[in-house]
Structure 1
Amino acid sequence: MAAPRTNLKNLTVALLTKDDITGATYGPTRKILDAVKASIDPKVSSDKAYGDGVVKYVSEEVTEIEVEFETLGLSLSDQAFLIGGTIENGVLIDGDKNQAPWVAFGFESEKANKKRRFYWLYKGKFSLFKEEFKQKEDKTEFQGDTIKGTFVLRIFDGNWRARGDEDEVGFTAAATWFDAVYEQPADAPAV
């Protein structure tokens, strides 16, 4: 039986610098601090082909993946990295020339059995996010940042996600998972 998830940490991003039929490459990884929660919601298009009055074939295709994560607060440099913009003298300038870059997004989820599951989503863009503010009253109510993104299949190989689990036989990438965006070794058998 699989153990339920109990914690989230190590939000990590990397700039996608190339994605074409010859390959995909990424820049160095960058940690996003103070993870609160994350969600991944794949959108699937499903089409059916009928023959003799019954469904004979079903075609399912991932069209996009909605990603959302919340932190205690995104630094201005993390915001500039994720949604575009420049920081000058400690001030982030938002404008019509800002362009969110393509990035990979990774994190880990701890499980009740003390093992971990690791994730990398290969290609997506994050968007400007809603900011809400509330005055302090009798009790402090912390206000973090939630950012949403849309992820898609890579041009290179059609992949959108890699997941590794310490419970799986043969998984050895835990120690280096966030050093770089995970790629299947060239000599690994095709699945």
Structure 2
Amino acid sequence: MAIVGLQDIVYAKLIKDDKTGVQYEEVKPFAPAITAQVETAQESATQYADNGPIAVITQTGETTLTLTVDEIPLDVLADILGYELKNGVLIYKQDVVPPYVALGFKGNKSSGGMRYVWLYKGRFSVPSDEWNTKTDSPEFQNQEITGTFVRRDYDKVFKVTADTDIPEFAPYMDTFFDSVFDLSVLDGTGS
């Protein structure tokens, strides 16, 4: 089935990720969705011996997310970039290290179902801005932002996806985005 839509981008700041567990802040709305492109880097190497290939190894690298949205609110930019928002003024500082965040969204499927996605640990870079003068014909200037996502230290997971048209997913469908999806619920050990 093909993906035919995108909606409901949300995020949560990662506050703990070590061998004892993982913890996030509350889930918040991000910005109205236009496009999301998710690319995970993978490199393969083939071992040759006895005049032929005998083994292949694959290494999964970082995941790059490119989002195009209507407009990212200043409070969201401050939150995901680690900047200060003071009296309606977003203060960009060069030495600020953005916090790690999780990002989730939904995609409509041609089957009528939905694809749900969480990227668990990433940092965003300052978005590009484009400003154009008004002309006789109105033209929207959307905002694009890029994030780089990696695996969590706790369990090495970097992404989860789920489909609403798979019956086994039904118990988790209504709460999937209430908090960052806790994989322990799949084993019956989570909240």
- Within 5 Å, give how 1:167-182 maps onto structure 2: 167-172=165-170, 173-182=172-181
1:89 lines up with 2:90 in the alignment = no
Residue in structure 1 matching 2:102, options 104, 118, 140: 104
- Percent identity between matched residues is 31
1:131 lines up with 2:129 in the alignment = yes
Which residue type is aligned with residue 174 of structure 1? M
Q: Which residue of 2 aligns with 1:143?
A: 141
Which residue type is aligned with residue 177 of structure 1? F
| Structure (1 or 2) with the greater strand fraction | 1
CA displacement at 1:186 relative to structure 2: 5.6
Q: Normalising to structure 1: TM-score of the pair?
A: 0.93
- Within 5 Å, give how 1:3-82 maps onto structure 2: 3-82=1-80
Runs of at least 5 residues in structure 2 that lack an aligned partner in the other structure: none
Distance in 1 separating the partners of 2:185 and 2:175: 17
Distance in 1 separating the partners of 2:103 and 2:81: 13
> Which range moved further: 95-104 or 135-144?
95-104
Which residue type is aligned with residue 22 of structure 2? A
Q: Which residue of 1 aligns with 2:113?
A: 115
Distance in 1 separating the partners of 2:65 and 2:82: 18
| 1:178 aligned counterpart, secondary structure | coil
Q: Deviations over 1:1-39 (max 9, x none)?
A: xx2111100101011111111221111001113111101
Runs of at least 5 residues in structure 1 that lack an aligned partner in the other structure: none
Distance in 1 separating the partners of 2:153 and 2:52: 35
Q: Normalising to structure 2: TM-score of the pair?
A: 0.93
Distance 1:84 1:187, change over 3 A: closer
CA displacement at 1:97 relative to structure 2: 3.5
